[in-house]
Chains A and B, each alone.
Chain A
Amino acid sequence: MNSRERILGRVRRALADAPGDEAPLSRDYLREHGQRTVAQTVDLLAENLADYRALVHRTDSDGLAGLIVGLLEKRGSASVLVPPGLDEGWLAATGVPRVTDRAESTPAELDRVDSVVTACAVAIAETGTLVLDGSPDQGRRRITLVPDHHICVVRVPGQVVSSVPQGLERLDPARPLTWISGPSATSDIELDRVEGVHGPRTLEVILVGED
């Protein structure tokens, strides 16, 4: 008998006497916490992102390119990683050399890039979470991991949901997802939170109003 059959057989024997439970699961928890207007939901997102030490900026589509170039300059970035499908206009104002997200790049090469600019798939207000799903404007998972500075653009209010249940509804489990809530952190020293370990230590979030 192989281990697959052995384990499945053990499971079936273990459950031989267990009573059935065919009643459907009642999901009587909330779909979202509290009632908010669209604008209040966006404000909550900004507040919770900032609470976990993300730097939050707000602009409209006309101001976006200028804001991004300002952030890169302020940081002194000498190079910026760009996913293949990023809106051309976002980086139109910057002359910082671009590094394209390519399959052939080695992790060491990515480690030499200063910043990365991406879009996101959805943002969750209640938890201050950005979710990236590897779409062309977000790139491979590693590009938002290895560089130390991540600028993430969220289209508001279109990409913003209130809660984790609403966020999951919008996401495709077949895609590789990265949920980001603030810069990397650890609670491993005396169970107290310290920001900044392996992932980007600076997370800047731009909430860009839709026209």
Chain B
Amino acid sequence: MSGTYLGMPAFPEAAREAVGNATLRGNLRHATHTIRAKRAKAVTEVSDWAELREAGKRIKDHTLRHLDRYLVQLEESVTAAGGVVHWAADADEANDIVTQLVKMTGESEVVKVKSMATQEIGLNEALEAEGIHAYETDLAELIVQLGKDRPSHILVPAIHRNRGEIRDIFAREMSEWGRPAPEGLTDTPAELAEAARLHLREKFLRAKVGISGANFMVAETGTLVVVESEGNGRMCLTLPETLISVVGIEKIVPAWQDLEVFLQTLPRSSTAERMNPYTSTWTGTTDEDGPQNFHLVLLDNGRTDTLADEVGRQALRCIRCSACLNVCPVYERAGGHAYGSVYPGPIGAILSPQLRGTGSEIDASLPYASSLCGACYEVCPVAIDIPEVLVHLRERIVQGGEVTSRGNKVVLRPAKGHAAERAAMRAARWAFLHPGVLRTGQRAASRTRRFHPRTLPGPGRAWSGTRELPPVPAEPFRDWWQRTRGGKDGDR
């Protein structure tokens, strides 16, 4: 993944900063609460939501189960329709392929449709290193790019910015990149959208190369699908002469008909709309309409490693709607940057440690970035049981075991830093298997309760820093039960 995130602190440290930032908390709260209610309404409108969700899950599971076959079929159909298919095992290879393709056109700038896959591989930085300027054209991506910032949400990468901050970024930075912001720009969303329209228009009109991802690829027909709102996607997909699409191999669906499920569930889950303003589908090239050169770069970059894990592979069903982020109480308070990945929120917490492995501090901390409240699973339109995968990854971290890394099976050792916890868990297990020991411990706690401190030292401070400890009762329940024969001898 992108080098931008190397050396990120573990989630709890990054989150601590975010929790203390009142502006950020306010921005995230406002945005996530706005979309939550709307999504719920958009979903209620369709009476067969449960069936659509189940169908989406099963289509994706079926595709993943036969991914080799569908990849080969997709390659054949895209090629037959006039496209050129490339295969990239990792980020470096994908970046090299795209860089070479752009260089072959002789161009030194490209316009980009918002794409998670190209962010994941750090394509913009790789192109920049070769002297090619990549212009982000999605409004939120533009805000992030102009603000020299990092994305913090899958759908709305600038969700951490409010309108006032966006106005300031536009007024300050647009002139550096092209057409300056209009004089006297205010912070009304309509004016900000207009400023983006004017700024980007000159780039669209002169662009010769467009770069995109795709929401879906249809194996049967070779069709790619991009779902968007602003029209920047259409600009990049139709005005340039050359189109390069970088797409994760899990984005396949087998048949044209399968889109009938996802084109109903995706818009309602992501922007809470019946349908997003624009959806483009294209199959190879069309004579005299749109790009005459089309390249599809199929990206692995950890996806096959994820596929190898029986429990974790369900993360590959994800259609990047971001509903799980919007309902997540942890995301709402920690913000997207704390997740140290282009994939933040609950889905990021299970995707990043699988795509990248659990070797880094941030990736090893992500599976714990959840209270397991289950809100993410409840809203997921492809029924990814995110809490199940989180717990599974916790297990991988504390117990180690066999995983697949870059296509090779390796055995992970239990992570360091969990030794005390592991010992405590074992001790607790032992005590719980010996009820007499448990009772002795309970009685000791009750007898000494006058001497219990109100706050705890060491790791216990994590609790008592913000919360009172519960008082220990005079006797545990089991003693009362024994003493009174379940209250038959009187309650007291």
The answer to whether A and B touch in the complex, with CB atoms under 8 Å apart, is: yes
Instruction: Report which A residues bind B (CB closer than 8 A).
Output: 2-4, 6-15, 17-18, 20-21, 25-30, 33, 48, 52, 103, 106-108, 111, 124, 126-129, 134, 140-142, 145-146, 164-165, 168-169, 173-194, 196-200
Q: Residue on A with the closest CB to B231?
A: A199
Instruction: Report which B residues bind A (CB closer than 8 A).
Output: 27, 30-32, 34-35, 45-48, 51-52, 55, 58-59, 61-62, 65, 67-68, 71-72, 81, 87-89, 93, 137-140, 143, 155-156, 158-159, 162-163, 166, 189-190, 192-194, 196-197, 200-201, 204-206, 218, 221, 223, 229-232, 234-235, 237-239, 249, 256-257, 259-261, 263-264, 271, 273-283, 286, 288-290, 298, 300, 304-305, 307-308, 310, 313, 326, 404, 407
Partner of B404, one of A14, A134, A169: A14
Kindly state the separation between the CA atoms of A181 and B159 in the bound complex, as whole angstroms.
24
A7 touches B87 (CB 8 A): yes
A181 touches B277 (CB 8 A): yes
Knowing A3-B89, A184-B230, the reply to whether A173 touches B308 (Cβ < 8 A) is no
Kindly state the separation between the CA atoms of A184 and B261 in the bound complex, as whole angstroms.
23
A189 touches B72 (CB 8 A): no
CB-defined contacts of A111 to chain B, threshold 8 Å: 201, 205
A-B contact pairs, 23 of them (CB 8 A): A3-B87, A11-B71, A11-B307, A13-B308, A14-B307, A18-B65, A108-B205, A126-B274, A141-B237, A142-B289, A145-B235, A168-B260, A173-B283, A176-B290, A177-B282, A179-B275, A184-B278, A187-B156, A190-B162, A191-B32, A197-B196, A198-B204, A199-B234
A199 touches B67 (CB 8 A): no
Kindly state the separation between the CA atoms of A194 and B231 in the bound complex, as whole angstroms.
13
Q: Residue on A with the closest CB to B70?
A: A11
Partner of B197, one of A6, A33, A197: A197
Kindly state the separation between the CA atoms of A131 and B185 in the bound complex, as whole angstroms.
35
B34 touches A27 (CB 8 A): no
B289 touches A140 (CB 8 A): yes
CB-defined contacts of B72 to chain A, threshold 8 Å: 8
CB-defined contacts of A191 to chain B, threshold 8 Å: 31-32, 34-35, 156, 159, 326
A25 touches B140 (CB 8 A): no
Knowing A178-B278, A189-B139, A197-B230, the reply to whether A7 touches B300 (Cβ < 8 A) is yes
Chain A to chain B: the 7 pairs with minimum beta-carbon distance, closest first: A199-B231, A198-B231, A14-B308, A10-B304, A127-B275, A179-B279, A197-B230
In angstroms, how far is the closest chain A Cβ from the Cβ of B203? 11
Partner of B229, one of A14, A30, A128, A187: A187
Partner of A194, one of B27, B65, B193: B193
A164 touches B277 (CB 8 A): no
A11 touches B277 (CB 8 A): no
Kindly state the separation between the CA atoms of A124 and B143 in the bound complex, as whole angstroms.
34
In angstroms, how far is the closest chain A Cβ from the Cβ of B231? 3
B407 touches A9 (CB 8 A): yes
CB-defined contacts of A182 to chain B, threshold 8 Å: 277
Q: Residue on A with the closest CB to B304?
A: A10
A173 touches B163 (CB 8 A): no
CB-defined contacts of A194 to chain B, threshold 8 Å: 189-190, 193
CB-defined contacts of A177 to chain B, threshold 8 Å: 279-282
A185 touches B279 (CB 8 A): no
A187 touches B271 (CB 8 A): yes
A190 touches B189 (CB 8 A): yes
CB-defined contacts of A174 to chain B, threshold 8 Å: 81, 221, 283
CB-defined contacts of B62 to chain A, threshold 8 Å: 21, 25
B289 touches A176 (CB 8 A): yes
In angstroms, how far is the closest chain B Cβ from the Cβ of A116? 13
CB-defined contacts of B271 to chain A, threshold 8 Å: 187, 193
In angstroms, how far is the closest chain A Cβ from the Cβ of B390? 21
Q: Residue on B with the closest CB to A142?
A: B238
Kindly state the separation between the CA atoms of A180 and B228 in the bound complex, as whole angstroms.
10
Partner of B231, one of A33, A134, A145, A181: A145
Kindly state the separation between the CA atoms of A140 and B289 in the bound complex, as whole angstroms.
5
In angstroms, how far is the closest chain A Cβ from the Cβ of B23? 13
CB-defined contacts of A13 to chain B, threshold 8 Å: 308, 404, 407
Which interface residue of A107, A169, A189 has the most chain B CB atoms within 10 A?
A189
A103 touches B288 (CB 8 A): yes
Knowing A181-B273, A189-B139, the reply to whether A107 touches B204 (Cβ < 8 A) is yes
In angstroms, how far is the closest chain B Cβ from the Cβ of A7? 5
Kindly state the separation between the CA atoms of A140 and B291 in the bound complex, as whole angstroms.
11
Kindly state the separation between the CA atoms of A29 and B156 in the bound complex, as whole angstroms.
30
B277 touches A183 (CB 8 A): yes
Q: Residue on A with the closest CB to B281?
A: A177
B200 touches A129 (CB 8 A): no
B277 touches A184 (CB 8 A): yes
CB-defined contacts of B31 to chain A, threshold 8 Å: 190-191
Kindly state the separation between the CA atoms of A39 and B368 in the bound complex, as whole angstroms.
54
A168 touches B51 (CB 8 A): no
Q: Residue on B with the closest CB to A7?
A: B300
A181 touches B61 (CB 8 A): no
CB-defined contacts of A175 to chain B, threshold 8 Å: 283, 286
A107 touches B205 (CB 8 A): yes
B264 touches A173 (CB 8 A): no
A176 touches B281 (CB 8 A): yes
